[in-house]
């Protein structure tokens, strides 16, 4: 779900003051402990999986109507993961996140009219079950976008709720006799109201009038939401991405009452416990577009449930901004500071969910101006960090935004080849292809060793070939002070130690020396033409060409 973000927070500034305050010769700064992030606790599949976000409408059309569908997605599963770890022609992802596939009047699906019916454009429930079976056969999981903060205003629940003040479903939504004039919680200075007039009363809809918020304080609504989750888990789903997770239960107007309320956290604990009771290894992924300290609270308590008793994965929006900034500017300072902040804020042992962009962002290729070196750097940063990275479909080939200024331009059809329909459709695509499709396509990059697609494939293979990269802890080797043209860290798991070094710049850079144990270094990934890692008296050093990444297992 997208929404404006007029409120800006600056946690990194406060962190900088703590980390890099001035010292003097008479009062030197005390030695700082290294920034270390513990490996995710437990052995659940989702704690180290590589996820791939799919907008079904734009991925593959199977019937020529110009709209992607579930049968089309099934036909492309081998591109994502063919089930054979020895092949190198698939991307190698471990899980799929499907943007909303339930029946909806909108192209995007975030206003649901039937939570138990697949959108007719996409297929049927039976098609979804077949998708899950085929994905599972290849070793992939499938999670669904579950939108329970709100429904469509066309949903039968809301139609009934609005029909009468005495309706049996009146309290399934929030109603008021007057306009309470609450501004959106992300823009408290807005003159707009989140209360909308209908039939002589006002209902609450934080995003817009077409998406009335469900009232999850009503027990019947809460139970219905849990029943719906059980329904899809029974059909093969392996978990849910939870839209607008911060905004579930409101207690009053203003930021404190409309977002991150104690009641919202209590509901997520209850919902998570229910999902675990139905399918113990299912995952819940939270969309909490906010600051690091607030995101950290959505893991809940780790006392009884490894990784937290609320949402096991939470998208790291602040880190995403810093990763793209590092790729664009050639300076990784923001990344180092963000990792340091995560160390102090995130509960120990939780799994991060890093990403670059998703369906609400201007695409990476557009943000980076199509710069091939910067795109390669962004990919390398994402896929060498710990946790569960998420890729947005088309990101792996440098798919750019469309030419219009709307959300559809962030969700244009996938480009598979150079044919008129780009291998996506034999008909007219539901939305125009993005510019640059001559090179930002799968066919053109599949057999090109230096392509962006090849880098994504190689990085994911390297990740899966090393438990330290796949699921280990992270020790930052780059200082949090000053400019950082290179970014280096050590990934560890048991006795395995893997050194990762990124040259973020467009020129040659030398990194090190790093005082790390080891007599030899095994190359796990080196591109493009990364220099040799050399051990000297002071430790390991390496000279890297522009935008190169080197990954070595130290022995």
The CA angle 45-468-96, to the nearest 5 degrees, is 30
Of residues 121, 243, 250, 260, which has the active-site annotation?
A: 243
Tell me if residue 438 is catalytic: no
Q: Which of 386, 389, 364, 385 is nearest to 375 (CA)?
A: 364
Of residues 287, 310, 341, 352, which has the active-site annotation?
A: 287
- Contact residues for 2 (Cβ-Cβ < 8 A; gap 6+): 359, 360, 407
Q: Do residues 171 and 218 make contact, with C-beta atoms less than 8 angstroms apart? A: yes
Residue 146's DSSP bridge partners are 242
Tell me if residue 496 is catalytic: no
* Spatial distance between the Cα atoms of 444 and 418, rounded to a whole number of angstroms: 8
Cβ-based neighbour number of residue 198 at 10 Å:
14
* Spatial distance between the Cα atoms of 279 and 194, rounded to a whole number of angstroms: 36
**Edge to edge, what strands does the sheet with 195-198 contain?**
175-176, 201-204, 195-198
- Contact residues for 227 (Cβ-Cβ < 8 A; gap 6+): none
Question: What beta strand segments (E) does 244-398 contain?
Answer: 283-286, 313-315, 351-353, 390-392
Cβ-based neighbour number of residue 178 at 10 Å:
8
Residue with tokens 């006799």: 177
* Spatial distance between the Cα atoms of 178 and 167, rounded to a whole number of angstroms: 19
Burial label, 270 (beta-carbon count in 10 A; 0-12, 13-18, 19+): middle
Distances (CA, A) of 81 to 91, 101, 314, 321, 452: 6, 21, 24, 28, 17
Alpha carbon distance, N-terminus to C-terminus of the chain: 46
Query: What is the 8-class DSSP label of residue 72?
Result: H
- Contact residues for 274 (Cβ-Cβ < 8 A; gap 6+): 226, 229, 230
Active-site amino acid positions = 243, 287
């Amino acid at each position: 779900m997208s929404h404006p973000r007029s409120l800006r927070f600056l946690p990194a500034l406060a962190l900088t003051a703590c980390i890099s305050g001035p010292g003097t010769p008479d009062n030197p700064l005390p030695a700082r402990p290294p920034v270390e992030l513990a490996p995710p606790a437990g052995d659940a599949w989702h704690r180290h999986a590589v996820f791939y976000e799919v907008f079904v409408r734009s991925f593959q059309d199977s019937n020529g109507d110009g709209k992607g569908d579930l049968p089309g997605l099934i036909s492309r599963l081998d591109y994502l993961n063919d089930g054979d770890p020895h092949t190198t022609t698939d991307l190698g992802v471990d899980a799929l996140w499907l943007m909303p596939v339930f029946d909806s009047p909108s192209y995007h699906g975030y206003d649901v009219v039937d939570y138990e019916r697949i959108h007719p454009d996409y297929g049927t429930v039976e098609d979804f079950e077949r998708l899950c079976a085929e994905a599972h056969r290849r070793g992939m999981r499938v999670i669904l976008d579950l939108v329970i903060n709100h429904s469509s205003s066309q949903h039968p629940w809301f139609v009934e709720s609005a029909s009468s003040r005495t309706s049996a479903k009146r309290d399934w939504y929030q109603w008021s006799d007057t306009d309470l004039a609450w501004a959106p919680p992300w823009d408290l200075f807005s003159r707009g109201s989140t209360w909308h007039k209908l039939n002589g009363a006002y209902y609450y809809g934080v995003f817009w009038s077409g998406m009335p918020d469900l009232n999850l304080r009503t027990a019947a609504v809460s139970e219905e939401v849990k029943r719906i989750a059980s329904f899809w888990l029974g059909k093969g789903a392996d978990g849910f991405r939870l839209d607008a997770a911060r905004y579930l239960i409101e207690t009053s107007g203003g930021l404190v009452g409309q977002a991150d309320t104690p009641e919202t956290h209590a509901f997520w604990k209850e919902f998570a416990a229910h999902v675990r009771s139905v399918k113990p290894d299912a995952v819940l992924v939270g969309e909490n577009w906010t600051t690091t300290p607030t995101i950290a609270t959505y893991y809940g308590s780790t006392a009884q449930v490894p990784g937290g008793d609320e949402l096991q994965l939470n998208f790291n929006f602040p880190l995403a901004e810093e990763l793209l900034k590092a790729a664009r500017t050639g300076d990784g300072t923001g990344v180092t500071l963000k990792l340091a902040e995560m160390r102090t804020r995130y509960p120990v042992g939780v799994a991060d969910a890093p990403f670059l962009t998703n369906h609400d962002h201007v695409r990476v290729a557009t943000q980076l101006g199509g710069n091939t070196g910067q795109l390669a750097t962004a990919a390398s940063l994402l896929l060498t960090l710990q946790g569960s990275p998420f890729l947005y479909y088309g990101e792996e080939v440098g798919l750019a935004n469309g030419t219009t200024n709307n959300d559809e331009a962030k969700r244009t059809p996938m480009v598979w080849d150079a044919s008129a329909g780009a291998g996506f459709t034999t008909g007219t695509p539901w939305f125009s292809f993005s510019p640059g499709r001559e090179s930002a396509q799968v066919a053109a990059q599949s057999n090109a060793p230096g392509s962006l697609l090849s880098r994504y494939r190689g990085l994911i293979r390297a990740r899966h070939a090393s438990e330290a990269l796949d699921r280990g802890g992270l020790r930052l080797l780059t200082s949090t002070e000053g400019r950082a043209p290179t970014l280096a860290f050590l990934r560890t798991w048991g006795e395995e130690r893997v050194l990762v070094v990124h040259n973020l710049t467009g020129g040659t850079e030398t990194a090190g020396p790093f005082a790390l144990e080891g007599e030899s270094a095994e190359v796990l990934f080196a591109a493009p033409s990364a220099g040799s890692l050399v051990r000297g008296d002071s430790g390991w050093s390496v000279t890297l060409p522009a935008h190169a990444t080197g990954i070595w297992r130290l022995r």
